[in-house]
Structure 1
């Protein structure tokens, strides 16, 4: 009998920016909103990470905004919470900005603007396909 192997490839259809910042999440959110004319607001529920059995392993601070004109979605997620990392391979990163449905925002220009914000130490673009934990950001 022939064996068939089914492989699933994840489609990472989002842009990912890592942010290093020593300030609290709400202060970073306010700074991003002011500098980039966003409307990030704290979500009603935290971003929960579950294990394979379905039980919640950790929850992370989560802010979201959907641009009403461009329909671009922005999500700001704290990397470390309760001693656990959302992306363990990027422990030096404090926050991740996930941008979905992006058709008009130039990510390089956005990062350049972010680096001018005084509360941000640095901002780095990541390719989600190169990160082991990138599946956690598919929601």
Structure 2
């Protein structure tokens, strides 16, 4: 009897997706609206934000499934700003709390990026360039560019489902 051996080394390692960084000062809902209008897509906000670090930080996320081309689009914020009350470290007669503003990033290597646009499944290079050029045509966006995901250390944070 013949023995058949299947080698599945790299089959499950990488999920193919395109990651586009967007730099702008817009609120998340305004950016989603402008992307919907200019790209002909239909982002909708998810019911629950993306929770990271057991509730310490949460990131807004919008998604849309393109059933014609079998693509899943996700727009996620990279920056979360939270105000936290901390007790003073010095000894005092009174308990003093003060407000501290902390900033968390979904992808710490890319701290200056405001939003990420993640498109799951294969995109041709021409389609990717078309999407980036369409995003750059929005006047409120400073810049947008593609990111090589193999260079990211915290790419596990980009797994949304």
TM-score by length of 1: 0.84
In terms of fraction of residues, the more strand-rich structure is 2
Corresponding position of 2:4: none
Structure 1 stretches of 4+ moved >6 Å: none
Q: Secondary structure at the match of 1:108?
A: helix
Where does structure 2 lack aligned partners over 5 or more consecutive residues?
Answer: 1-9, 82-102
Where does structure 1 lack aligned partners over 5 or more consecutive residues?
Answer: 1-7
Deviations 1:19-63 (A, max 9, x none): 00111000000000000001001001101224xxxx344210000
Deviations 1:68-119 (A, max 9, x none): 2112100000000131000111111000000002456711111011100112
Q: 1:23 aligns with which of 11, 21, 26?
A: 26
- RMSD, matched Cα: 2.0
Corresponding position of 1:84: 104
Distance 1:101 1:18 in 2: 17
Contact 1:111/1:123 (<8 A) preserved: yes
1:52-63 → structure 2 map (5 Å cutoff): 55-63=54-62
TM-score by length of 2: 0.73
Corresponding position of 1:5: none
Distance 2:123 2:114 in 1: 26
Corresponding position of 1:71: 70
Corresponding position of 2:117: 97
Structure 1 residue 10, shift from structure 2 partner: 3.8
- Paired residues in the alignment total 129
Q: 1:106 aligns with which of 127, 133, 137?
A: 127
Larger radius of gyration: 2
